[in-house]
Amino acid sequence: MATTRSKTTEIRFMLRALALTAILTAAVPGFAQETQGQQPVRSVYTNSFKDNWEFSVGVEYLSFYSQFEDGMNLSKSPFKSYRANFGAAASIGKWFTPEIGLRTKASGYWGKAVISDDAEKNSIRFYAFQEQAMLNLSNLIGGYRPDRLYSAIPYAGAGFVRNCTYNDNSFGVGFGLLNRFRINDQVSAHADLGLTFAGNDNYRESMDAPQFQLGRYKWVSLEIGLTFNLGRSTWGQAQRRSAPIITDPVGITMPQSGEEEIKTTRVVAGGPVPSGMILVPRGHIRMGLEKQDSLWGNQTPVRDISVDDFYMDRTEVTNAQYHEFIQDVMDSIIVQRLGDPYYQGSLQRVIESLYITNPVTGEKNIDTRQLNFCYEVYDYGEAVKRRNRLDPYERNLNTDIQVDPEEEVIISKDTAYIDDSGRIIRATIERPLSGPYDFLNTYIVNIYPDTTCWVNDFPNADNEMYSRYYFSHPDYKDYPVVGVTWEQANAYCAWRTERAIDRLGANARDFQRYRLPTEAEWEYAARGRSQNEFPWEQVKAGNGKGMFYANFMPDNGNFTKDGNIITSRVGIYPSNTYGLFDMAGNVAEWTSTAFTASGIEAMNAINPQLKYNAAIEDPYRLKKKSVRGGSWKDPESHIKSAWRMSEYQNQPRSYIGFRCVRSIATTPSEKTVISAVQKKTR
């Protein structure tokens, strides 16, 4: 009867322990979702499967307890020789997020049955294997920090226990607190305080061992050791959302392709450096075409310029990455409408409101007119100009000029709103200077790319297939997004910035915004370290053996000669010496620079830029932006790094895409040649 009661109690305990383990594991994603605000974010950090593995080794001090000692008046002290011993442990595990991980732990030691106060009589040899779920409480509560020195990691698990002395197998359940102390990115020390329960109800009888019942036993352990990180130990950021799938306006479903990464590789002045970017170190180039193109007759100004350090995307923004943008805007609309009494809290009703049905074909598609993104940009450049000081006595340092305290300073700012019919109304207003908010510009942009650009750009071609499938079919997810205007590209940069700042929180003080590259930055980056005419070392775009270094139009119209007829997947051609892909051909790329015929001659020689935010009422000719790099439809002469093209900022094209850059908050000085020589002569 006692044996049956013991088994029943043990089974109940094991079931409770397993239930607690499941609850701890399941609770973390829910917590992550609640802490992200209104957006239904399921996870905020991710890495590839090969990263964030760890291997631990350590020595253990164990103190054993069992039901046999009940009523024997034995001391419960964990340091008594009849219950304490040493062992060794090793484990291998993986973290799936900064908060959740799994590990397999193996332990082997001389243990104690604790049937008396005789240490030798109590000795048992055994080993144990457990599968344990780990919860990094420090990251869960305080947020992930790559330089965190201490982490508290509670864990729970279950597994197999082998009693080698009495040839018994049993089931064990363990709990504990793993305390980890960071040494560097690859190594940390740990102190693991654990409690394990195991059970066995077999009888043993032999000449060497008296008859006794080996019932449930338990032990407290303290492990000291080292943990080694295998693969990358830091974490990147990503969103995985559970909103509806996106469909193209022509009705083709686009499965979501994954995550837009904001993976931290190192920190510059408080902000993360996304792993999808490349550092382009500061330097000097002679910008422009040294040899003017006699065929096309374009005169390109030439000038020596210098640019500061910046980070640039390795590749052009892809369809998959741009879909993340659209999905995020859809999520925001859904969350807002769920709180609107009109929709009665019905998710299905909200989702239905985002779709329209073609009355002719019956196809149900997303109403792309609703996908509007609103963002604000503070114009630091205008805000710090002396003429815009709030104090009239600070506006002019010329003491010969009498200050007029009643002087009225007129500023202009961009604003936008959506009227009752759902149309976006943009305006540039002028008003007297009143305060810092005068320099906060508001923009509302419809973000869905124009998938009909393939037909409108080439009216005498059968490109309907590209209009239907290029942005919607998963086979094109790694192709550069096209049909995106200059305004939409800027909106994408603003969204990417907002998302990064939301993740960083208080650490975002010095975060530099994502933006389009200036014309000078783009050419400097495209030329590579050797500042070549093309992004590669060779003079021509091919090696003469049918192999090409870019996707363009070779041989006056044989588009297929370079392996593609339109765009290609990003990154399949060789990179330049900075590690940037497709800086020539594939798609031309928007820059932030306003296009003028004089080009670089109208700009400064340091970080040159010509910026003009055209008002809606400005003449259309003032709304041209510089486009660089040439595309899949252009001849070899147009994919040179210095070749200048232009397009109107509201024009979507099937051959124009973009990539993002970020400035660096600090650019430390380098040692000069003179100082190096002086150092040698000391």
Q: What is the pLDDT of residues 10-23, one digit of tens each?
A: 445 444 544 444 44
Range scoring the smallest mean pLDDT among 60-64, 624-628, 659-663, 678-682: 678-682
Do 201 and 309 fall into the same domain?
no
The DSSP output letter for 249 is: T
Distance CA 580, CA 529 (A): 11
Q: Which of 226-240, 425-439, 560-574 has the lowest mean pLDDT?
A: 226-240
Per DSSP bridges, beta strands 84-95 and 45-46 are unpaired
Residue 441 lies in a domain: no
Q: Phi and psi dihedrals of 624, rounded to 5?
A: -90, 140
> Is 679 part of a structural domain of the chain?
no
Question: In this structure, is the dihedral angle defined by the CA atoms of residues 306, 439, 416 and 500, taken in order, positive or negative?
Answer: positive
Q: How confident is the model at residue 40 (pLDDT cuts 50, 70, 90)?
A: very low
Q: Are residues 98 and 221 in the same domain?
A: yes
Residue 285 shares a structural domain with residue 201? no
Residue 8 counted as domain residue: yes
**Is 262:236 a contact under the CB 8 Å cutoff?**
yes
Q: Is residue 672 part of a domain?
A: no
Split at pLDDT 50, 70, 90, the class of 233 is confident
Question: What confidence category does residue 121 fall into, taking pLDDT thresholds of 50, 70 and 90?
Answer: confident
pLDDT at residue 514 tops 80: yes
Task: Note whether 468 and 349 are same-domain residues.
Answer: yes
Any domain includes 388: no
Q: Flag the least confident range among 200-204, 362-366, 472-476.
A: 200-204
Indicate whether 70 and 189 sit together in one domain.
yes
- Check pLDDT > 50 for residue 30: no
Rounded to the nearest angstrom, the gap between the alpha carbon of residue 333 and the centroid of all alpha carbons in its chain is 22
Show the tokens assigned to 59: 């020595």
Domain of residue 204: give its range: 2-230
Please compute the mean of the pLDDT values over residues 402-417 and round it to a whole number. 92
Give me the chain's average pLDDT, please: 80
pLDDT at 667: 62
Percentage of the residues of the chain whose pLDDT score is greater than 90: 44
pLDDT average, residue stretch 366-383:
93
Question: Does residue 203 sit in the same domain as residue 294?
Answer: no
409 inside domain: no
Would the pLDDT of 309 be above 80? yes
Q: Which one of 283-292, 318-327, 390-399, 596-605 scores highest in mean pLDDT?
A: 318-327
Examine the domain organization and report whether 176 and 271 are in the same domain.
Answer: no
Number of other CB atoms surrounding residue 618 within 10 Å:
12
Asked if 433 and 390 touch (Cβ cutoff 8 Å), the reply is yes
Confidence at 71, pLDDT banded by 50, 70, 90 = low
Residue 543 is predicted with a pLDDT of 53
d(CA 136, CA 227): 15
| 125 vs 469, higher pLDDT | 469
3-class SS at 601?
Answer: helix
The pLDDT value recorded for residue 508 is 77
Q: CB neighbours of 627 closer than 8 A, spacing ≥ 6?
A: 588, 589, 590, 591, 595, 645, 646, 647, 656
β-sheet bridge partners, residue 155: 134, 176
Give pLDDT, residue 13.
45
For tokens 């050791």, the residue is: 225
Please indicate, yes or no, if residue 415 is contained in any of the structural domains: no
CATH of the domain at 558: 3.90.1580.10
Q: Give the pLDDT band of residue 169 (cuts 50, 70, 90).
A: confident
Does residue 66 sit in the same domain as residue 193? Answer: yes
Based on the structure, what is the number of domains in the chain? Answer: 2
Could you tell me if 69 and 173 lie in one domain?
Answer: yes
Q: Contact, 551 vs 564, CB < 8 A?
A: yes
Q: In this structure, are strands 310-313 and 355-357 parallel, antiparallel, or unpaired?
A: unpaired
Q: State mean pLDDT over 231-245.
A: 51
The answer to whether 424 and 447 have CB atoms below 8 angstroms apart is no
Cα 266 off chain centre by: 13
Degrees, nearest 5: CA angle 574-579-584:
55
User: Residues 575, 607: one domain?
Assistant: yes
pLDDT at 335: 92
Judge if 260 and 219 occupy the same domain.
no
Q: Give the domain CATH number at 115.
A: 2.40.160.20
Q: Higher-confidence residue: 392 or 669? A: 392
> Which pLDDT value is given to residue 240?
37
In the chain, % of residues over pLDDT 70 = 78
Query: E strands within 516-657?
Result: 588-594, 624-628, 644-648, 656-657
pLDDT at 249 over 60: no
Whether 495 and 607 share a structural domain: yes
The predicted pLDDT at position 298 comes to 55
d(CA 514, CA 320): 18
Q: What per-residue confidence (pLDDT) applies to 188?
A: 92
| pLDDT average, residue stretch 548-564 | 79
Beta pairing class for 84-95 and 53-66: antiparallel
Q: Is residue 603 part of a domain?
A: yes
